[in-house]
Structure 1
């Protein structure tokens, strides 16, 4: 949620009032963090009441790719999954143009992220992730995960020149392992569907109803679906586990958090025997995906306001840890 395309209140006041039924825009401010799109908190006033939204200008995704993400969010919201719901303009559209780029406005979820999650937070996330997977079973659109194997194969040659020999060996060996896994019969049998593919701690909110007591936390919702795709549900679960269930050393899995998340997920959707057998390779795949992505962002960055690339060595360490499972 960096800002590549600056937007001032004066840029959107007339646009909002002429095209939407969400009231008068009163404040806009860029959201710090993330690295893909330009995101802003947008405040409006309608009938004397303050309303809050999130405005996103898409920097990499095309107008042809975006309907999948926006319509998936609308589908899940209509199924009762707590996710941002796209706001329609006066013509009933949820994708529009702002400053010559694709843009969308979605509802703002309540709550705050918990960057030091307890087991109960992990359990809430696991349960809702399983419910989200099942709620998306009848979503009619399909779009591949754009950061899956083919992207790794394209991107790894670009980052290899920046790495030392040990990192090059690790990256090329893991890619070969995952290429074999992705073409295996066991992989083909894994259930799949609409997946978030980026459900990190900063993409989940917990609402304590104004209290500072985290024991009162309830799940506020999942957001930032712009890495979503049709993928193996086990991959989505592995991505989530690799961030939510870290031990204090920030690379190994903490058994208490891990058990809480996995038990809650499987209370809704038990894993098949093929999924259980594929788990060790899938958590490695999830670690590889984000190591490659962070290497790319770190060594081949784009200019942006408020952009701070993530440290790629974090997921290098996680991958090394998962290879020992």
Structure 2
């Protein structure tokens, strides 16, 4: 959510008239994140979030905004896209796709305890179930194919030992993805980026989750692994906190019980989730794009997480 494309209130004065929101009164750039240009937007009708998409195309975006609409209509606390007068959810602004969504109440919980992790686990399971009848399909654009494509672009920048780790883990994940256990995993639309800063709380109550622009069709277990690898770890070391892991996974299981294949795939998928974000951060670090307020994430964080997942078994999923 850095700002790659500047937008002013003057830019919005005519553009905003196609939405049932009244005049734009205030606009503030959002500094977190590194993919799109995001702004808090205040209008005569309330507070919203305006996003200009820097990488996703007009053809790709219907999946994301329609998924948010689908989930919101089924009671999942996600931002609801605002259609313009023609019923369009994505429209051009400065020549780029743009969307307006509702702004969630609350604030991010950056020091989660088991009670917060349980809220996240239950909500994630409800989200997966609510997405079962979503008609559109689009692959996870940061899935295995992207890992294979991206690794050669960052390997020349790495020390020999680090490069060996990346090659070995990529080979492991390719082999696992071709096996019978992986093929038995349940799939559907996933958030794929449910980090602490993408979930809002009011006290200990989860009030919503947002930033669906890495969503795609993948295994539900991968989505859970991404979530656990952020919510349930010591950020300095990457080590899992067993109490938080158990709170999150048991709350998920209470809503959608795990299958035998998911229990068998848990350790490899935790490694896969760490690899995905290590590669992404390596790419952003060594192939940066210019942006206002952009702060690249440290790629060594997820290298540590991956090494931990390889060396130490996580608590098993509830049977």
Same fold by TM-score greater than 0.5: yes
The CA distance in 2 between the partners of 1:62 and 1:182, in whole Å, is 28
**Residue of structure 1 equivalent to 2:251:** 264
**Residue of structure 1 equivalent to 2:316:** none
Residue by residue over 1:60-88, the C-alpha shift from the partner in whole angstroms, topping out at 9 and shown as x without a partner, is 00110000000000000000000000001
The CA distance in 2 between the partners of 1:161 and 1:111, in whole Å, is 43
**Residue of structure 2 equivalent to 1:187:** 182
Provide structure 2 residue ranges, at least 5 long, that are not aligned to the other structure.
Answer: 314-319
**Residue of structure 2 equivalent to 1:278:** 265
Aligned with residue 172 of structure 1, among 151, 167, 183: 167
**Residue of structure 1 equivalent to 2:223:** 236
How far 1:248 moved relative to its partner? Answer: 6.1
SS in 2 for 1:323: helix
Aligned with residue 54 of structure 1, among 32, 37, 49: 49
The CA distance in 2 between the partners of 1:184 and 1:29, in whole Å, is 48
The CA distance in 2 between the partners of 1:176 and 1:14, in whole Å, is 52
Matches of residues 81-100 of structure 1 in structure 2 within 5 Å? 81-100=76-95
How far 1:267 moved relative to its partner? Answer: 0.4
Aligned with residue 252 of structure 1, among 234, 239, 255: 239
How far 1:250 moved relative to its partner? Answer: 3.7
How far 1:58 moved relative to its partner? Answer: 0.2
**Residue of structure 2 equivalent to 1:199:** 194
How far 1:138 moved relative to its partner? Answer: 0.2
How far 1:247 moved relative to its partner? Answer: 2.9
The CA distance in 1 between the partners of 2:306 and 2:240, in whole Å, is 11
**Residue of structure 2 equivalent to 1:33:** 32
How far 1:42 moved relative to its partner? Answer: 0.1
The CA distance in 1 between the partners of 2:202 and 2:64, in whole Å, is 24
The CA distance in 1 between the partners of 2:78 and 2:105, in whole Å, is 10
**Residue of structure 1 equivalent to 2:67:** 72
Taking structure 1 as the reference length, what is the TM-score of the superposition? Answer: 0.95
SS in 2 for 1:190: coil
The CA distance in 2 between the partners of 1:26 and 1:315, in whole Å, is 40
**Residue of structure 1 equivalent to 2:109:** 114
The CA distance in 1 between the partners of 2:13 and 2:223, in whole Å, is 38
SS in 1 for 2:201: strand
**Residue of structure 2 equivalent to 1:213:** none
Matches of residues 285-324 of structure 1 in structure 2 within 5 Å? 285-324=272-311
**Residue of structure 2 equivalent to 1:103:** 98
Q: Which runs of 4+ in 1 moved over 2 A?
A: 247-250
SS in 2 for 1:102: strand
SS in 1 for 2:145: helix
Number of equivalent positions = 312
The CA distance in 1 between the partners of 2:298 and 2:235, in whole Å, is 17
How far 1:172 moved relative to its partner? Answer: 0.1
The CA distance in 2 between the partners of 1:66 and 1:54, in whole Å, is 16
